[in-house]
Chains A and B, each alone.
Chain A
Amino acid sequence: MTNQHQRSPGEAGTNGHSGPASTLSRRTVLQMAGSAASLAAMSHAEAQSISETQSTVADAGAARPLQLTVNGVSRELEVDPRQSLLDVLRETLDLTGTKKGCNQGACGACTILVNGRRIVSCLTLASMHDGAEIETIEGLEKNGELHPLQQAFVEHEGLQCGFCTPGQIMSGLGCIAEGHAGSPEEIRFWMSGNICRCGAYPGIVAAVADAAGRS
């Protein structure tokens, strides 16, 4: 995230910004990030001040214990408190089914279920989810049987390249559970946080509608 905000003296727009963010403590920033205020959405100056703040904090990367139940399996971890839940899944637990498309909360590729709710895992810190129940794409298949929504994605061509697919499916599960899959229009609206650059949208809507009908 933070490398999005380069810090060169030559960069336009860096002069004269000394807003309230420059007084933010790192702790506040982490809380902001945890409450889904995107680091990426901050101004350059804010981000710069964060990176400065962080670099002066000696224990920035000190690992902390974290317990997560991922796809039904309890995991005891030591995580860097700056790590996003997405990076912990992909890089620490090697659960690479969940994808990073933007790391900015703007594409939905990283969608997972946390305590049954769909969230974008790139915008939340793992350390804020101690004790949480996490479901990812890897956990849906049971005894070699695809979940009905997975099956529907294959049958209805809800995918092409497949990269947005794990996020679409997890989001689709959330959409159905929320009761937002009553009609194609409703599905289109409530699935609009998941971009599919291949344009498999018609199949995605058909798949979610089909699985919602079956459940």
Chain B
Amino acid sequence: MTVRFIGSPHTRVDGPRKVTGNARYAADFNQAGQAYAVIVSATVGLGRITEMDGASIERMPGVVAVITHHNAEKLPYLPHKAVIDPAEGERLHVLQDDQVRFYGQPVAVVVADTLDDAERAAAALRISYDARRPIVDHAGDEVKAIVPDAATRPGARTLADRSRGEADAAVANAAVKVDENYDIARENHNPMEPHATIASWNGERLTLWSKSQYLVNEQAEIAAIFGLPLENVEVVCPFIGGAFGTSLRTWPHVTLAALAARHIRRPVKLVLTRKQMFFTTGHRPRTLQRIALGATPEGALAGMVHEGTGETSRYEQFMEALTNVTDYLYSCPNVRTQYRLAPLDTSTPNHMRGPGEASGIFAIESAMDELSYKLGIDPIELRRRNEPQLDEAENKPFSSRSLMQCYELGAERFGWTQRTPEPRSMRDGRLLIGMGTATATYPAFHAPASARVRLLADGTAEVEAAASDMGPGTYTSMSQVAAEFLGLPLERVRFRLGRSDYPQTPSHGGSWTMASVGSAIRAACLEVQAQAARRAAADAGSPLSGASVDDLEWSEGLLRRRGDTSPGISYHDIVVRAGVPIEAGGSAQRDPKVAEQYSMHAFGAVFAEVAVDPDVGTIAVRRIVGAYGIGRVVNPLLARSQCTGGMIGGMGMALMERTALDPRDGRPVNAHMADYLMPVNLDIPELEAHFVDEVDPHVNPLGVKGLGEIALVGTAPAIGNAVFHATGKRVRTLPIRIEDMLTA
């Protein structure tokens, strides 16, 4: 088949809807007669509600209901655990008791005819607490780290303890060593779109217009919480205003919206305030890590130790892949990793773009850079000398690994040869210039997915899957996949997503949407072609009547006998003669044998240039260049956007983002978009993303490895390493701040 759509830089098919305001996000689905719900959030960090005078605000103008743990219906909360839920622990049950587990926990919902009435009444609600001081400082003395239960089970993705060889001894005896600690701040996803749910009941059936990266799970979870049959719940979410992981789980506000709507027997709209986005919708956990590296004088790694602890809540054990990369990144006979959790009086963290890997790689890649200076070896050369022939932890070959090609391409585009190795050796006037680099990597995941294709009489095709599009361009890239395999022009393919009653897909995260859903669409397209061919062969009036299906072939959307030069017949011809649309489903999953045989990861090399003002310590990123080996690129225009967006996210992680908690009550003190610093337009440097040619026949039928996470991973250490090169100051705490530049 001639490749025409996969690989083409098509602009977004949903672009016109987004630039005209016609793309509808959850909070845009206003329902007739809807009331507005406002969550009242706890203002203590731990304790018990002793008094809540709901009646005092019930008669305020417009108030329809005040729902508290006193009058909320007792919900069944049937067992439910999805792959994105922590394996251990139980979700927060809202308004079911008087306990406050963390600052900002929902303790009441006020429902009124208008948003202003609801807000005003919520603000007037008096609550008394019996409060205790929560423990929220991960680095504090009172914190006792635990072994995550799920990390001790065989086959866990992140193991609590893993080792090969004698890592500690190897480091201790090594000629050259680095042994340092790293502290990465808690971050909040802060997508532009706040979480929002509009809930509407029709008898025992519930419709949710709700921001979700995992519609079929939101459906299943709400069905479990309310004790409803699955088919009674429908979730609709055609557009997501950014999420970065925060909408993977179904958080308490979704339950509260449904609860409120049932309570008042009217549709209810519930939108979190920006401040509430820091309370109960997950965060990148603060992590504390130790890296110890030992090397020979020639730069061969002799031992690697990676110990890391992540925050979690008291009620769930949230795990991420903090220490995983150290297992396979470089060749080293002696490696030990250790992963622990620190339960705190906070809400449960959640995956945030590049979860685990982004934090782990900052530590390991900062340490590798440090090692390169101790050895006097160029940082890229050091990686080359430790490039493995296979995944030494798993003892399997990589399905493909283009790390060194990425370094070569990136170094060339970046102009690495202009760099002088000495720290503080490059200047631009008064400014100290630094250049740094780091490895990026992320697993090439795949999860079972399904899709449906329908051929219509007008010659177009409809494709459906319960997938999401939080910004990477799912609408566009999936349309390209379908157009490619159907052989139809892109305009004749309509891809629909964002409904839980479409064929099941995995969560929209983990960089596996194209691998999983794309492969399912391919399968559905091939299946619908097979059905159409069977129809044509069985149709007495068709020119292909009586042909053996094996003798027929599709080309450019036309069916003909193999080797025949006639024009053939089109989908349109077949469907019109059939009198009904032809529909087929398809699904895809990774062959377990392939997974057993190969270690599958994407790799990249990130380069950053910074300018540091030596007098005031301001750090400006001037350039970032990334080169990635991610298998096949379905749409280079969108892929580049995803990469540069990820680099900007990485800049935030490196230099700006930090959710600060008040140690007295666990309150996020900067829960505001002006105080939680994020890159704005003026911060943005020159950004370049390049892709090496990489063919990976093993990962999935499309040969794609995924891009969303790796786009962010690697940026923060590249910037940190550039800051060291500029100033000679090694900062092992993120974000790197002006203060770090001013102190010795």
Contacts and interface: CB of A to CB of B under 8 A. Distances in A.
Nearest to B24: A96
A135 to B, nearest CB: 12
Interface residues of A, number: 79
Contact of B20 (A47, A99, A150): A150
Contacts of B472: 160
Contacts of B648: 199, 201
A143 interface: no
A8 B471 CA distance: 39
B665 A199 contact: no
A91 B115 contact: yes
A65 interface: no
Interface in A97-129: 97-104, 106-107, 109
A152 B471 CA distance: 18
A205 B645 CA distance: 14
Interface in B681-696: 681-682, 684, 687
A109 B28 CA distance: 14
A51 interface: yes
A140 interface: yes
B417 to A, nearest CB: 26
Interface string A166-179: 10010000000000
A204 B22 CA distance: 19
Given A8-B128, A55-B120, A100 B471 contact: no
Given A165-B18, A195-B678, A6 B43 contact: yes
A160 B662 CA distance: 34
Interface in A174-215: 187-189, 191-205
Contact of B117 (A5, A61, A140): A61
Max count, chain A CB within 10 A of own CB: residue among B191, B662, B687 = B191
B123 A97 contact: no
B271 A202 contact: no
Contacts of A193: 680
A134 interface: no
Contacts of A3: 38, 40, 118-119, 122-123, 273
A197 B21 contact: no
Contacts of B473: 160
Contacts of B116: 61, 80, 82-83, 87
A10 B275 contact: no
Given A98-B21, A99-B241, A146-B19, A55 B645 contact: no
Contact of B672 (A7, A106, A155): A106
Max count, chain B CB within 10 A of own CB: residue among A138, A191, A200 = A200
Nearest to A4: B275
Given A2-B120, A61-B116, A188-B681, A8 B129 contact: yes
Contact of B667 (A2, A12, A52, A97): A12
**Secondary structure class of chain A's binding surface, majority of residues:** loop
Interface stretch (B8-16, B376-384, B434-442): B8-16
Contacts of B687: 202
Contact of A163 (B19, B118, B242): B242
Contact of B645 (A4, A106, A198): A198
Given A8-B128, A12-B667, A103-B273, A159 B61 contact: no
Interface in A1-28: 1-12
Interface string B259-294: 000000000000101110000000000000000000
B416 to A, nearest CB: 22
Max count, chain A CB within 10 A of own CB: residue among B18, B239, B687 = B18
A205 B22 CA distance: 22
Contacts of A197: 190-192, 242, 244, 678
A172 B577 CA distance: 52
Contact of B271 (A100, A187, A189, A201): A100
B120 A8 contact: no
B448 interface: no
Contacts of A51: 120, 123-124
A2 B38 CA distance: 11
Nearest to A84: B116
B194 interface: yes
A85 interface: no
Nearest to B126: A7
Contact of A96 (B19, B28, B194): B28
Contacts of A137: 19-21
Contacts of B22: 97
Nearest to A139: B21
B680 A195 contact: yes
Contacts of B244: 197
A15 B687 CA distance: 49
B20 A9 contact: no
B673 A201 contact: no
B241 to A, nearest CB: 3
Contacts of B673: 101-102, 104, 106-107, 195
Nearest to B650: A199
Contacts of B78: none
Given A55-B60, A106-B672, A137-B20, A160 B242 contact: yes
A131 interface: no
B174 to A, nearest CB: 40
Contact of B274 (A101, A150, A202): A101
Given A83-B116, A163-B25, A91 B30 contact: yes
A205 B62 CA distance: 44
Contacts of B25: 99, 163
Nearest to B675: A106
Contact of B194 (A40, A91, A101): A101
A182 B176 CA distance: 54
Nearest to B127: A8
Given A97-B20, A189-B682, A2 B119 contact: yes
Given A104-B274, A188-B681, A188-B684, A12 B664 contact: yes
B647 A199 contact: yes
A138 B28 CA distance: 13
Interface in B219-250: 239-244
B662 A12 contact: yes
A109 B641 contact: no
A102 B80 CA distance: 32
Interface string B650-687: 00000000000010110100001110001111101001
A161 interface: yes
A169 B15 CA distance: 13
Interface in A75-98: 80, 82-83, 87, 90-91, 94-98
Max count, chain A CB within 10 A of own CB: residue among B21, B28, B473 = B21
A164 interface: yes
A80 B642 CA distance: 42
Contacts of A83: 114, 116
B143 interface: no
B620 interface: no
B447 interface: no
Nearest to A201: B684
Nearest to A109: B192
Max count, chain A CB within 10 A of own CB: residue among B470, B640, B641, B681 = B681
A10 B61 contact: no
A165 B23 CA distance: 10
B15 A104 contact: no
Given A10-B129, A107-B673, 4 more contacts: A12-B665, A82-B120, A162-B17, A199-B648
8 contacts: A12-B662, A12-B664, A101-B274, A154-B19, A159-B18, A162-B17, A192-B681, A203-B641
Among all A-B residue pairs, the 9 with the closest Cβ atoms = A97-B21, A163-B241, A199-B648, A162-B18, A161-B471, A199-B645, A160-B471, A154-B15, A96-B28
Interface of B: 11-12, 14-25, 27-28, 30, 36, 38, 40-44, 47, 60-62, 114-120, 122-129, 131, 190-194, 239-244, 271, 273-275, 469-473, 637-638, 640-642, 644-649, 662, 664-665, 667, 672-674, 678-682, 684, 687
